[in-house]
A and B are shown apart, each in its own frame.
Chain A
Amino acid sequence: MVETVRQFAANEIRPRARAAEEAKQPADDAIAAAHALGLVANALPSAFGGGGERSAVLGALVAEELAWGDLATALAILSPALLAFPLADHGSAAQQAAHLPRFAGGSFVPGALALVEPAFGADPFRPRTQAKRDGAHYVLEGEKCLVPWLAGGETVLVFADEGGEAQGFLVPRDAAGLTATPEAYMGIQALPTVGLTLAGVRVPAEARLGEAEGSDLAGLIARGRVALAALGVGVARAAFEVARDYAKEREAFGTKIAQKQAIAFLLAQMAIEIDGARLLAWEAAWRLDQGEHALREATLALDQVRRIGLDVTDGAVQVLGGHGYIRDYLPELLLRNARGFASFEALALV
């Protein structure tokens, strides 16, 4: 499976990455082709047409390979899980039956999860967006950002504070009072995202994820942090490989620049940090698969990736020098993408 995804990333994703980024359009061909591999559907419960093989470790392996190809495309490919996994984990029987079969179908259906908020100091664990019960309905008020918004989606999972507890709500994209404004970020420009304004958005009480049971936002964030850590490792590995290959080709003062310790040691440090971060991500994923909550381990992994991902991609730009700064080469894109991890939460799930 991982080998298949690796080849897919090399043959289908990477060649389209630059054009998609420049066009600020998702690489639809690659996304459709990835759906055929069943990367998300295989992990969904078999009762709803899925493969019934959910594994956070496998999810982390797949995420790294996809992100090695291109982060924005990887996030698009994995977006169905943003709805499907929380539904599988916490959805009521009725919610699962209503939503899950679509994600196991023949064509790609994107998911959307609205957790991140734009206000300074916003805390993913304690959304400022409010959900107030009003008879048989909830009324949602607030602002979200960084919500993946690929064409063809119908529902967005919005996290909001309900009396001091974070809860998820399944909101139709066309709900009255919901305004989606396209965003532009420094990186991941091939991934369409929106900011959401929720102004008196009314959803039925049954729209609360898990209905009476509710859900577990911290658990969801842990799964998000493992996924993001693995994606970040993929971005860093891509940068390392570009820098390594360039350094072995580029000559200065009569030798390859890789033969200079200043460059060679930088590359060695990149390799060490990437392997260390990958092991942290794998361990956290493995703990999730053992049934542990693993928020601490997931947090450590993402924390490490947030640092080393930036260091490695910045180092790659540096190794390529002026060539690293121009858009003919990948490192500048990888640096822009790596910086995003400081702000990302639950942009992908395992």
Chain B
Amino acid sequence: MHPITTFHYLALSAALLLIGTVGVLTRRNVVIILMSIELILNAVNINLIAFSHALHNVNGQIFAIFVITDAVAEAAVGLGILIALFRNKETVQADEMDLLKW
């Protein structure tokens, strides 16, 4: 069996990023779109940790911590916006929120 290299992690991370992007672009449900964004951020983190591990450098892990901080802030505000939207429009489908479109 081949040993696991940084390349394996990069490939896994790219696949996860693409899965997340498919979720963002094709789903209608806003909750699941937000979850797909979490998938994308996790793909970035896998990349950062892989290079941090390979280069014996702790900076990648620090960056990953900041990415997680951003993910938390994004989830909190995004879900708050979602609740406000649901209260006003009674829908969670992204393509039904077209108030600006005439």
Same complex for A and B? Answer: no
